[in-house]
Amino acid sequence: MNVHTPDARGAFAVPTSMRYNAVENYIRNTTFDRPTLVLDTDIVAQHYQQLKAGLGNANIHYAVKANPTREIIETLVAQGSHFDAASRGEIELCLSLGAQPSDISFGNTVKRASDIAFAYHAGITLFAADAEEELEKLAEHAPKSEVYIRLIVDASEADWPLSRKFGCARDKALSLLGYARDLGLKPVGFSFHVGSQTRRSAMWTVTLDQIAQVWTDAHAAGFELDLLNIGGGFPAFYGEEIEGPTAYAAGVMKLVHARFGNVPRIMAEPGRGLVAEAGMIAAEVLLVSKKSNNDTHRWVYLDIGKFSGLAETMDEAIRYQFVTDRDHEDTGACILAGPSCDSADVLYELRPVQLPLGLKSGDKIMIRNCGAYTSSYSSVGFNGFPPLAVEVI
């Protein structure tokens, strides 16, 4: 029943839209007793190849946090992907599923010293940093390793910007390269993240201009950098138009080459763009109600909310698409909320969603393109609601 039968014949030739139907059909024909993310790893493999086709000789380091499901990591290992890990746990996961230490970067700029030591002894030699103290930790626990300096991005056009928490400003970048060298590390380049869900490749222009300026300054100061890590930001389809993976990646690489020339090593770290479209969530309507007799909006409560997988609805940043068996019926505006007893657990209220007027308790509701940042963002059981279940077809 729940058996995965890879179809080598047509697996990668089938258009993504048709492959969705495999997940959708499975959900339609299955009864779930809790919210469940259903994943199709063939789509992950397909997206890997599509991104790779646009990225050329840039290496893909999958950002494991987007979805650490075992079968996804295994699929990407088989595709030849590299990995970007943020913790000892993610490193152990990748190693246990066959990734080589040389293919794993430790990209978190805020690392526990014992995790650095673990990574170093496991054979990992590429680390990120954006501060003196982090470089000191690396020099002590991962001596002579390669390090790239993460730069701050302050002109993001992303739907889910990563803000000022990570990276350092231009004035600091060169002093950190020098400090890394003084500490016996090998400063090899820079990284940045344009912001998650950056919908069009042209939106990278301003950020790349800024990074290229620092790159040029570093070379002028005598640093022989050979690595540029362009991070993630590759978008998924949530209803607003985006470029396809290959065109998008090629568009970004064109902007990169125009500014940086031939960089020996380029890394890209897609998370969302690799896995979001590989999964759909099967959920259920628990209650439809009105707060007063003349309330213009219905409240629709689902069995999944902010704490059980839909954290990216925070500030209504990511707007998921919903599918029901009543989609042929007339629709009306709804405020959509999760099941928990926390008033923050409202998914969409500022911009209500249109759902069928006949929707009622017990109806199945499917949420499209949920393969990224859902299962990994689900709490262990707030209010006694189970974490998001994951099934791979």
Does residue number 167 form part of the binding site for ligand PLP (CB under 6 A)?
Answer: no
Is 311 strand, coil or helix? helix
User: Closer to ligand PLP at the Cβ: 155 or 221?
Assistant: 155
List the one residue from 19, 193, 306, 368 that touches ligand PLP (CB under 6 A).
193
The least distance separating ligand PLP from the CB of residue 25, rounded to whole angstroms, comes to: 27
Query: Applying CB under 6 A, what is the total number of residues that bind ligand PLP?
Result: 16
Does residue number 338 form part of the binding site for ligand PLP (CB under 6 A)?
Answer: no
CA atoms within 13 A on the CB side of 244: 12
**Interatomic CA distance for residues 106 and 125, integer angstroms:** 8
DSSP letters spanning 326-349: TTTS-EEEEEEE-SSS-TT-EEEE
CA atoms within 13 A on the CB side of 192: 28
User: Closer to ligand PLP at the Cβ: 269 or 391?
Assistant: 269
Does residue number 273 form part of the binding site for ligand PLP (CB under 6 A)?
Answer: yes
Does residue number 309 form part of the binding site for ligand PLP (CB under 6 A)?
Answer: no
The least distance separating ligand PLP from the CB of residue 2, rounded to whole angstroms, comes to: 28
CA dihedral (29, 35, 38, 44) in degrees, to 10, reads 160
Does residue number 199 form part of the binding site for ligand PLP (CB under 6 A)?
Answer: no
Does residue number 157 form part of the binding site for ligand PLP (CB under 6 A)?
Answer: no
The least distance separating ligand PLP from the CB of residue 186, rounded to whole angstroms, comes to: 20
User: Closer to ligand PLP at the Cβ: 193 or 298?
Assistant: 193
Is 263 strand, coil or helix? coil
Which residue type sits at 318? I
Provide the residue count of the chain.
393
Max CA pair span of the chain? 72
Does residue number 66 form part of the binding site for ligand PLP (CB under 6 A)?
Answer: yes
Stretch that binds ligand PLP, among 12-20, 227-235, 288-296, 344-352 (CB under 6 A): 227-235
First vs last Cα of the chain: how many Å apart? 9
**β pairing state of 298-302 and 186-191:** unpaired
List the one residue from 232, 245, 279, 309 that touches ligand PLP (CB under 6 A).
232
Stretch that binds ligand PLP, among 2-10, 35-43, 271-279, 292-300 (CB under 6 A): 271-279
The least distance separating ligand PLP from the CB of residue 259, rounded to whole angstroms, comes to: 20
Residue 229 — φ and ψ, nearest 5°? -105, 110
User: Closer to ligand PLP at the Cβ: 231 or 339?
Assistant: 231
CB contact set of 308 (below 8 Å; sequence gap of 6+): 35, 338, 339, 340, 378, 379, 382, 385, 386, 387, 388
What residue spans of 221-341 are helical by DSSP H?
245-260, 272-275
**Cα Rg, the chain, nearest whole Å:** 22
**Interatomic CA distance for residues 201 and 259, integer angstroms:** 15
Token pair of 265 as six digits: 């090593």
Does residue number 272 form part of the binding site for ligand PLP (CB under 6 A)?
Answer: yes
User: Closer to ligand PLP at the Cβ: 19 or 47?
Assistant: 47
Stretch that binds ligand PLP, among 238-246, 251-259, 263-271, 352-360 (CB under 6 A): 263-271
Token pair of 352 as six digits: 């209500």
List the one residue from 65, 88, 137, 199 that touches ligand PLP (CB under 6 A).
65
Does residue number 340 form part of the binding site for ligand PLP (CB under 6 A)?
Answer: no
Catalytic residue among 94, 168, 334, 341: 341
List the one residue from 118, 204, 234, 322 that touches ligand PLP (CB under 6 A).
234
Does residue number 44 form part of the binding site for ligand PLP (CB under 6 A)?
Answer: no
Give yes or no: 341 in active site.
Answer: yes
C-beta of residue 208 within 8 angstroms of C-beta of residue 245: no
**Interatomic CA distance for residues 81 and 89, integer angstroms:** 18
Binders in 75-134 for ligand PLP, by CB under 6 A = 84, 107
Does residue number 279 form part of the binding site for ligand PLP (CB under 6 A)?
Answer: no
Does residue number 231 form part of the binding site for ligand PLP (CB under 6 A)?
Answer: yes
C-beta of residue 393 within 8 angstroms of C-beta of residue 38: yes
User: Closer to ligand PLP at the Cβ: 66 or 99?
Assistant: 66
Q: Which residues are catalytic?
A: 341
Contact footprint for ligand PLP (CB under 6 A): 63, 65-66, 84, 107, 193, 196, 231-234, 269-273
